[in-house]
Amino acid sequence: MSDVTRMTATEVAALVAGGEASAVEVTQAHLDRIAAVDDRVHAFLHVDTEGALAAARDVDARRAAGEPLGPLAGVPVAVKDVLTTKGVPTTAGSKILENWRPPYDSTIVSRLRAAGTVPIGKTNMDEFAMGSSTEYSAYGPTSNPWDLTRIPGGSGGGSAAAIAAYEAPLAIGSDTGGSIRQPGAVTGTVGAKPTYGGTSRYGLIAFSSSLDTPGPCARTVEDAALLHAVIGGHDPRDSTSIPQPVPDVVAAARLGATGDLTGVRLGIVTEFSGEGAEPGVLAAFRDSVETLTKLGAEVVEVSCPNFQYALPAYYLIAPSECSSNLARFDGVRFGLRVGDDGVKSLEEVMSLTRDQGFGPEVKRRIMLGTYALSSGYYDAYYGQAQKVRTLITRDFTAAFEQVDVLISPTTPFVAFPFGSRTGDPYQMYLADLFTIPTNLYGGPAISVPCGLSEGLPVGLQIMAPTMADDRMYRVAAALESAVGTFTPPAL
Ligand code: GLN
């Protein structure tokens, strides 16, 4: 049997379903791969060897008993450490949650288990999903498998690196401003942010509740769609979950894979196609537009004038919500507690715990958000940002009257070297220049590898109307059928 770690999730599931490999063999092969490369990549914060093998044995037993298996049964999946996993450490990349073992599974993880996938471990991330490089993880950064001296994107750099390094065929990320798509782009993998409310936030450690969206990471578009279908759909435990079925993203991906985009209208976002991105990124983007045209798509330019205000609006809204969400980490209820000597007051213990438990970027966001929400400044900052959010939504609505989807580069630059943007928060924030508008609007968007610039991967972003997630999969799969997938140099 050829190396299962190189196979797509679709191929692995077929092997297991056909009895050519057991789920245990598949899982062990991935555990071995992790053991061989993860000291260099550091994609994982925790590898759940026992739990993964138990889940795999369960799949094998069900198959032996003749029970029907789901389309991803027996496939290992790496889970971003922002999702609760019962009894398995969940830190959100923060010292304040070190050694915390949640008493319950997030809905995403419950659905992964119910589908017979094999949760193999928890992936590294920027602390509380704030960052674009994983350099803000309290547990040290993850390396990009394409070049170990460069960042794998963030905040979900661990999930993207795990699949790019063949440590798992599938991973789960969460996208608040780009944390699935940007790591996908810079690691040459596929990352999809579903429609907000299309995937459940129950058990997702909250950063910015009106933006946070869990979603799939994979090496192919079809694999991402299959995972999306497993984790998506209404959840009564999340009050913002959409009570409608997820559109048929798998069928859309398979349709796209035929390479025919006749009748599909693509809108190039004028504001994101001229400047602000590296020349190599723009060149790869332009080549992709040509490819998509050859596949039959009709391409027009669409102006979205308010997109230029998305980044500043996001950096008021997201910190405001985080300042409220992170108030729960008080040294009493979860994880770390500092200074509880029987003498210090509750307030002193809370203050010491938060001072030592949170890293500098998290503290910066809490301070920004607290300021933006304070009385006297609320209207000028938070209120104004919410108005900009409405304008951005109007840009999307107007655009989707003219075209089926919008396209842009996913990120302005390829994977950058460690340390090159940590000195200036604004330079780090720019990584999400093109991904943030979608989060403010609530629609779905995907990043699909579209080429290389100076030997490093470039992603194309496809943005669709809310609850039209299928459209982006069709276009992404069509592009993939023309340009192929991208393999990093051997580790
Ligand atoms: N990089 C952005 C931030 O730091 C987005 C993060 C995310 O999507 N979780 O806020």
Q: Is 129 in the pocket of ligand 1 (CB under 6 A)?
A: yes
Query: Number of C-alpha atoms within 13 angstroms, CB side, residue 251?
Result: 4
**Cβ distance 77 to 118 under 8 Å?**
yes
Query: Which of 82, 176, 186 to probe ligand 1 with, by most ligand atoms within 8 A of CB?
Result: 176
Taking the chain (491 residues) in runs of 10, the rounded mean pLDDT of each run is: 91 97 98 98 98 98 96 98 98 97 98 98 98 98 98 98 98 98 98 98 98 98 98 98 97 98 97 89 97 98 97 98 97 93 97 98 97 93 96 98 98 98 95 97 98 98 98 98 96 93
**Cβ distance 337 to 318 under 8 Å?**
no
User: Count of CB atoms within 10 A of residue 18's CB?
Assistant: 9
Query: Which residue in this structure is represented by tokens 């993939």?
Result: 480
Expressed in angstroms and rounded, the spacing between residue 436 Cα and the centre of ligand 1 is 9
Decide: helix, strand or coil at residue 435.
Answer: coil
Return the pLDDT at 47: 98
| Residue with CA nearest ligand 1 atom 10 | 130
Expressed in angstroms and rounded, the spacing between residue 406 Cα and the centre of ligand 1 is 21
Instruction: Please tell me the total number of residues recorded for the chain in this structure.
Output: 491
Name the residues annotated as catalytic. Answer: 80, 155, 179
Return the pLDDT at 108: 98
**What is the reported pTM?**
0.98
**Cβ distance 182 to 153 under 8 Å?**
yes
Instruction: For residue 338, give the nearest of 354, 325, 358 by alpha carbon.
Output: 354
Q: Is 311 in the pocket of ligand 1 (CB under 6 A)?
A: no
Helix axes of 249-256 and 221-231: crossing angle, nearest 10 degrees: 170
What whole-number distance in Å separates Cα of residue 185 and Cα of residue 206?
24
What whole-number distance in Å separates Cα of residue 158 and Cα of residue 42?
7
CB neighbours of 79 closer than 8 A, spacing ≥ 6? 85, 108, 109, 112, 119, 121, 122, 123, 159, 171, 172
Expressed in angstroms and rounded, the spacing between residue 447 Cα and the centre of ligand 1 is 15
Query: Which residue in this structure is represented by tokens 């994982």?
Result: 44
What are the C-alpha distances in Å from 129 to residues 124, 135, 334, 343, 402?
Answer: 10, 11, 18, 35, 34
Atom of ligand 1 nearest to the CA of 174: 9
